[in-house]
Amino acid sequence: CTSSDNYPRFLRQHWKFLKTVVNKLFEFMHETHDGVQDMACDTFIKIAQKCKRHFVTVQVAEVMPFIEEILNGINAIICDLQPHQVHTFYEAVGYMIQAQADTVVQERLIEKCMSLPNQVWDRIINNATHNVETLKDPECVKQLGNILKTNVRACQAIGHPFVTQLGRIYLDMLNVYQVLSENISSAVQQNGEQVLKQP
């Protein structure tokens, strides 16, 4: 969808074409040519904002809402995306989930949507429970940051119903922040404030 409202209107009126466009965008999300993945993610979020209700209702000749198909294949769709593109993807899916009026269905969609980041989160927390030193690993800290950014972007789109997901990670998140804060304080004491300027 572009800034003109004609394209979203056309897509809303022609479900099969809308689905074809979105599936083509998913193909582009695997394309390594410079800028294609960004374009695909940016277009996907625009379509999600303008046509969100169409993704959460069963369309003619379909057996389930398209959001279900997207969430069933989410791992395969996003596997080649960079973290910032994954965040955009989750925000786009969040807009679709936000359009679901049935709160029970919406809660299930949120849980399904956040399943992949939650699996990684749970693994990191489990490892840290056995050995807190794992939270000093830069790759682990980067993964935690990306998971939190994914949660933020999905939350911005979904709004208040996302509270169930936040409740799931809240206590672990506080503990992680406490440990990371202590790690930073310790690094500053040992190496001076210049350590704060490191990536």
Yes or no: say if 150 and 89 are a contact pair by the CB < 8 Å rule.
no
pLDDT at 38: 98
Structure tokens at 199: 């990536």
Structure tokens at 81: 């995306």
- Cα(51)–Cα(59) distance, integer angstroms: 13
Sign of the dihedral through C-alpha 106, 92, 61, 30? negative
- Cα(9)–Cα(78) distance, integer angstroms: 27
Q: Which amino acid is at 89?
A: F
pLDDT at 16: 94
Please report, in tens digits, the pLDDT of each residue of the chain (199 residues total). 444 456 777 887 889 999 999 999 999 999 999 999 999 999 999 999 999 999 999 999 999 999 999 999 999 999 999 999 999 999 999 999 999 999 999 999 999 999 999 999 999 999 999 999 999 999 999 999 999 999 999 999 999 999 999 999 999 999 999 998 998 899 889 988 887 787 6
pLDDT at 1: 40
pLDDT at 6: 64
**DSSP one-letter string for 9-30:** HHHHH-HHHHHHHHHHHHHHTT
pLDDT at 198: 74
- Cα(134)–Cα(70) distance, integer angstroms: 33
Yes or no: say if 132 and 67 are a contact pair by the CB < 8 Å rule.
no
Of 178, 196, 176, nearest to 187 by C-alpha is 196
pLDDT at 199: 62
pLDDT at 5: 55
